[in-house]
Structure 1
């Protein structure tokens, strides 16, 4: 009697679909817990230590759980939230919630945990999502929760595996989200994703990454966003007594404010002031001369002309004719 080996070809290729078949599929839109900022899936919010990331994520958790306004402006649909505040005590959480929420009873849909048993992070998140499958989990912090690398383990692969485990956990519950808080490194990088502490493994496993930047002793900050399905953007924020607020009435206004902050940082205060004057006059349909700048800023016409020429050489403004300038955005 002869036996034949089972043909595994069909089972190996069972998941194939044609492009034509895929074009007929209908997928639900991604759930947005904070529209334009926090999406379903696995996300990371990162920033330097002691910058206010925990205050930021607590404010978001309160807004989502209460169906309020995140960052003071962005309306959120009410959803259950689990905050794994693994670096905080209940006393500290109570104080911070009172600071942000006031004396009224805080949202009952915000669930808090300050301790998770060894190797029980993923089971704990899964158990909660089984009860609240459309919920948001905030993990503060990733470094406190994840297992340590083993001796000889490849750092990138270890970070990637840790991130994939968390992503698979949340992906098992469509419509849910996991936002992990992480640190950035001290070294400067032009690409804000490179600023994440550790290897690129965590960032590579995440669906989107948010990076918070704020100069020390400043109330102004930016929040940069990039991801596979998330719209890339940079938004200006301000912080007041622990509360993070959008700098503008909406994300578009906050994006413009972030651009102004970036230009100010690149140009220096005097050049930024002159650029703002040129742009403001351009919006009014006016050209700008050195005399206009001298009258507005209080510097000599010679110095004003030097600044204007430098801004034009840097393509920050456009030279209309000899000695006259307009804002680039208005002429492009």
Structure 2
């Protein structure tokens, strides 16, 4: 059943709920990440901030809303210990569930009986949806489709945690292809958020893309002692590169000022020509490489970043060819070197 454009423009739709500014609105959001990097702490922190209407990750405005947290891999005792560790003693209407034995479709009736709750966090998707094979496209799409339809019909936000496959934590491959059963996930979710953090490191990154948000790549800090995530700024541009993309950038930079044919790049990188073409096209869209009129590839000048500490970066950029401009932290002053 369709509708005329002129009639469509006369309809009044509910205003979108911005649960977290710039990041999460109503609909279905997936939070992806490797095991034991702090995903559950991330969404517990999110649940607390939504319940209190405080700032998520230390700076993002959050709308105070009723929140239901399905902590299906935890017990009430563990959640109590975590809340105590976080120092949270004042709550509003946040609701906890540690089991869910019903079919997904029953969530709609469950939520209709709790109309003040506008945000649902599910930890994890596999436990809640009882998906037997997360790489089975049809099974994943069916489960996510049901969750999305419930979110859309009720005008709420559903946020589900899911595990990434091996390799995403280390940066290999495309981060959007990181979720188990990712083809079904990326095609169904309204927003996909990926958390990455190397083992024993406090430095993490959040990447997000979606239908209602701008693409995001933020640097995060994981405080192991306090078990809190904070946003430390925008990630340096070269951190956007996967391992495969960095290999190709290195090849192109080493050949500069000469440009290279795709076949030469593929041979040096030890990859198939078709795979190399796909990587180059994606990097071109990101602004890292340029294809000349003769079909040759060259690397664009990039901003290099050196870490001086948790909250201090030195960014080096070239103005023209000879004048280095150094920016420390958020200081807007620049020091120009000799020409």
After TM superposition, the score normalised by the length of structure 2 is: 0.68
Distance 1:314 1:155, change over 3 A: same
| Alignment match, 2:157 | 177
Query: How far does residue 262 in structure 1 lie from its aligned partner after superposition?
Result: 4.7
Greater mean deviation of Cα atoms: 119-128 or 36-45: 119-128
Q: Could you tell me how far apart the structure 1 residues matched to 2:56 and 2:50 are?
A: 7
Greater mean deviation of Cα atoms: 180-189 or 161-170: 180-189
> How do 1:2-81 residues align onto structure 2 when only pairs under 5 Å count?
15-81=1-67
> How do 1:173-212 residues align onto structure 2 when only pairs under 5 Å count?
173-174=154-155, 176-188=156-168, 189-212=172-195
Higher helix share: 1
Q: Could you tell me how far apart the structure 1 residues matched to 2:117 and 2:75 are?
A: 27
Pair 1:166-2:147 in alignment: yes
Q: Which runs of 5+ in 2 are unaligned?
A: 247-297, 303-316, 327-333, 335-339
| Alignment match, 2:137 | 156
Q: Could you tell me how far apart the structure 2 residues matched to 1:154 and 1:182 are?
A: 12
**Contact between 1:224 and 1:233, CA under 8 Å: does it hold in 2?**
yes
Distance 1:154 1:105, change over 3 A: closer
- The count of aligned residue pairs is 258
* 1:106 aligned to which of 78, 90, 99: 90
Greater mean deviation of Cα atoms: 199-208 or 122-131: 122-131
Higher strand share: 2
**Contact between 1:32 and 1:40, CA under 8 Å: does it hold in 2?**
yes
**Contact between 2:194 and 2:207, CA under 8 Å: does it hold in 1?**
yes
Divergent runs of 4+, >6 A:
none
Q: C-alpha offsets along residues 254-311 of structure 1, whole Å, 9 cap, x if unaligned?
A: 22x4537558x998xxxxxxxxxxxxxxxxxxxxxxxxxxxxxxxxxxxxxxxxxxxx
Distance 1:111 1:148, change over 3 A: same
Tell me the SS of whatever aligns to 1:223. Answer: strand
Query: How far does residue 231 in structure 1 lie from its aligned partner after superposition?
Result: 2.0
**Contact between 1:41 and 1:177, CA under 8 Å: does it hold in 2?**
yes
| Alignment match, 2:119 | 136
* 2:228 aligned to which of 243, 248, 265: 243
Q: Could you tell me how far apart the structure 1 residues matched to 2:299 and 2:61 are?
A: 42
Q: C-alpha offsets along residues 54-100 of structure 1, whole Å, 9 cap, x if unaligned?
A: 00000000000111111121222211110000000111100111122
Greater Rg by CA? 1
Distance 1:258 1:65, change over 3 A: farther
| Alignment match, 2:283 | none
Tell me the SS of whatever aligns to 1:181. Answer: strand
Tell me the SS of whatever aligns to 2:144. Answer: helix
**Contact between 1:45 and 1:179, CA under 8 Å: does it hold in 2?**
yes
Distance 1:124 1:22, change over 3 A: closer
> How do 1:309-324 residues align onto structure 2 when only pairs under 5 Å count?
315-316=301-302, 317-318=317-318, 320=320, 323-324=322-323
| Alignment match, 1:279 | none
Query: How far does residue 44 in structure 1 lie from its aligned partner after superposition?
Result: 0.4
**Contact between 1:63 and 1:76, CA under 8 Å: does it hold in 2?**
yes
| Alignment match, 1:277 | none
Query: How far does residue 148 in structure 1 lie from its aligned partner after superposition?
Result: 3.5
After TM superposition, the score normalised by the length of structure 1 is: 0.69
Distance 1:164 1:259, change over 3 A: same
